């Protein structure tokens, strides 16, 4: 049984960079978001990074639809990294930052992130935030 491809959907799924120095945090995000945004959509391509240098290099190389940055990462947190990327990279992809608590949402605003989700991660909230940011990018671009 084959499914017809919806011409409104890209042939490839979104390419999402996921930054955290914690492998378990990355797994939690992937599990919460799921393999695709909606039933029938192409699968998400996850690009996992554990260092700020890898985030910068990968983002500079282009081809990403969204950056999910862990604000609680050791050494270089995702909030400061988001601000740096937004300041330094022309046409930086949208950024979703993960904060340690809801009270840190103001830091996401400071970082120029398009979206913020706080811990503990709610899979429904995280998946909805990812979908919303990607849809806004599609309609704006």
Q: Whole-model pTM?
A: 0.90
**Stretch (H or E) spanning 66:** strand 66-70
Give the closest residue to 21 by CA, choosing from 89, 83, 64, 81.
81
H helix runs in 43-119, sequence order: 52-61, 78-88, 105-110
Mind listing the pLDDT tens digit for each residue in 48-90? 999 999 999 999 999 999 999 999 999 999 999 999 999 999 9
The pLDDT confidence band at residue 10, using thresholds 50, 70 and 90, is: very low
- Spatial neighbors of 29 by CB under 8 A, at least 6 apart, are 18, 20, 68, 98, 121, 126
Q: Can you list the domains of the chain with their CATH numbers?
A: 15-140 (3.40.50.2300)
Note whether 113 and 133 are within 8 A (CB). Answer: no
Q: Can you give the pLDDT at residue 141?
A: 59
Q: Count Cβ atoms within 10 A of the Cβ of residue 126 and give its class: 0-12 exposed, 13-18 middle, 19 or more buried.
A: buried
């Amino acid at each position: 049984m084959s499914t017809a491809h919806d011409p409104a959907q890209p042939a490839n799924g979104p390419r999402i960079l996921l930054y955290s120095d914690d492998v378990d945090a990355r797994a939690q995000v992937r599990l919460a978001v799921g393999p695709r945004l909606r039933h029938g959509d192409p699968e998400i391509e996850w690009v996992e990074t554990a260092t700020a240098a890898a985030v910068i290099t990968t983002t500079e190389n282009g081809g990403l639809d969204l950056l999910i940055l862990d604000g609680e990462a050791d050494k270089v947190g995702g909030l400061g990294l988001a601000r740096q990327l937004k300041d330094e990279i022309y046409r930086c992809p949208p950024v979703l930052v993960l904060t340690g608590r809801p009270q840190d949402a103001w830091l996401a605003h400071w970082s120029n992130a398009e979206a913020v989700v706080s811990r503990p991660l709610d899979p429904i909230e995280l998946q909805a935030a990812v979908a919303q940011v990607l849809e806004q990018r599609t309609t704006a671009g």
